[in-house]
Amino acid sequence: MTKSKKIIVDQEYKLREQLAIAEQKLILYETFLNSLDIGIQVIDKHETAILYNAMMTQLEDENANNILGKAENSTTQLYVNNDLLGALEITKDIPFIRMLAKKIIDLQQNLSAQKNPLNVTQPFSTRYTFSDIIGNSDALKTVKIQANRAARTSSNILLYGETGTGKELFAQSIHNASLCKQGPFVAINCAALPEHLLEGLLFGTVKGGFTDALDRPGFFEQAQDGTLLLDEINSMNINLQAKLLRVLQEHSFRRVGATNETAINVRIISTIDVNPFDAIAQKQLRKDLYYCLDTVALHIPPLREHKEDIPIYIDRFIEKYNSSMGLDIKRVSAAVLDAFQQYSWPGNIRELQHAIEGAMNLVASEQEIQMHHLSSLFQSNLLAMSKSTQTANMSCTEPAKLIELRDTMEKELICAAFNKSNGNVTRTAKSLGLTRQLLQYKLKKYNLK
């Protein structure tokens, strides 16, 4: 054997040896992939499936032979040195989430299928209109006027404000004052569901989706010609936010697992419980999505910024729970009202409502809510806040002097207005821009009546 032939034989032997090792590795890889409890699918850059393991077959209810070599959709792309090589899809079977997803989508589908005798789809439940938004403060009046004006158009609206300020109340009111009020109002809490479940709920599914569904409409389809409320939008996964942005820009979407686009005519109202720019800085909200959502941005003020509305809310909540509890509460005591005026209300109007409800549960035959009726936790929060305020005042005597001066001036103004109106509480309250209940409290505080 010549030297050159020997080299060729040696090279061929090495190639066969490397091929055998590669085949063994391939068998090991395939065995490993098929033994995993997660579904894995890989497609090449031409969107052709080249790998489809056993668990994915089980999850998608498809035979691998029906998938391999056929075009499939995927949005998770794989790059090497900036070159697109393909895409990877990983799916995990979580029985509880699968069951929950199916139940939720079935429920939404049943709701959207309810029809009236005229064969017109009934809108989802909305309870609130602008007449339900009460308060006389300038802060609340301003945002209410802005929201009412914005309701006339179909532009996207972003409502931002702390938890408990009434963002959904505003959202429903906007819908009920809009041109699409006859259409559905669909709300989804983006913080309540995991990403892969939320995507199916938003866009719907076709055969092979993770919910075992065949063809199920998502919230976008169910909100057609109406309003879709995306609550706590900053809790939505960043990757899903990118898909949402595309839908808002293109006015169309694709169901999970589908190839065709569906046009939509839906008004989007989204809410966020933090400053939007803080959410962007903390990578909770995409900047481009924010600019798409905030065509109209409305700030719902926290209760601490319009405490003059507290007496109005107290009266409303007492009336509400009197009816449901069969009570006859007339008012809160001066001490309770004073405590409520001093409290910072981190939970805002919702916290005030719960405080009133909790107190009315502990009332016996009294007609006045007193301090001992308030929950022990609420009283603890009041005490902690009071101690904090006292500590701050001890470090500087000037604030105490300012408070004393303010009270003196307030007493003189109220006394003058009260005398000018000949002791008429209604006229005095109107001239001072106060509610009757708040004026009554201040008259007792300064011993003017």
Domain limits, the chain: 3-92, 98-301, 306-445
Indicate whether 154 pLDDT > 50: yes
3-92 topology per CATH: Beta-Lactamase (3.30.450)
Least confident of 92-101, 133-142, 191-200: 92-101
Range name among 73-87, 148-162, 265-279, 369-383 with the lowest pLDDT average = 73-87
Q: Is the pLDDT of residue 60 over 70?
A: no
Q: Which residues of 59-68 are buried (b: 16+ CB within 10 A; e: fewer)?
A: bbeeebeebe
pLDDT at 119 over 50: no
pLDDT band for position 272 (cuts 50, 70, 90): very high
Is 306-445 a CATH 3.30.390.50 domain?
Answer: no
Quickly count helices (H) and strands (E) in the chain.
18, 13
SS3 at position 191 = coil
Confidence grade of residue 373 (pLDDT, cut at 50, 70, 90): very high
Res 234: pLDDT: 92
The pLDDT of residue 435 is 74
C-alpha 41/C-alpha 52 separation (Å) is 5
226-254 pLDDT, tens per residue? Answer: 999 999 999 998 989 999 999 999 999 98
CB atoms within 10 A of CB 86: 20
- How crowded is residue 263: how many other Cβ atoms within 10 Å of its Cβ? 9
Both structure tokens of 271 = 């809410």
pTM, rounded to two decimals:
0.65
Rounded mean pLDDT of 87-103? 61
304, amino acid identity = R
What's the whole-number average pLDDT of the chain? 80
The per-residue pLDDT for 120 is: 33
98-301 CATH fold: Rossmann fold (3.40.50)
> How many CB atoms neighbour CB 157 within 10 A?
27
Most confident listed range (22-31, 355-364, 406-415): 355-364
Backbone φ and ψ for 231, nearest 5 degrees, come out as -80, 135
- More confident site: 183 or 115: 183
Provide the pLDDT confidence category of residue 117 given band limits of 50, 70 and 90: very low
Angle at the Cα of 140 from the Cα atoms of 139 and 144, rounded to 5 degrees: 125
More reliable by pLDDT, 449 or 315: 315
| CA separation for the pair 119, 105 (Å, rounded) | 22
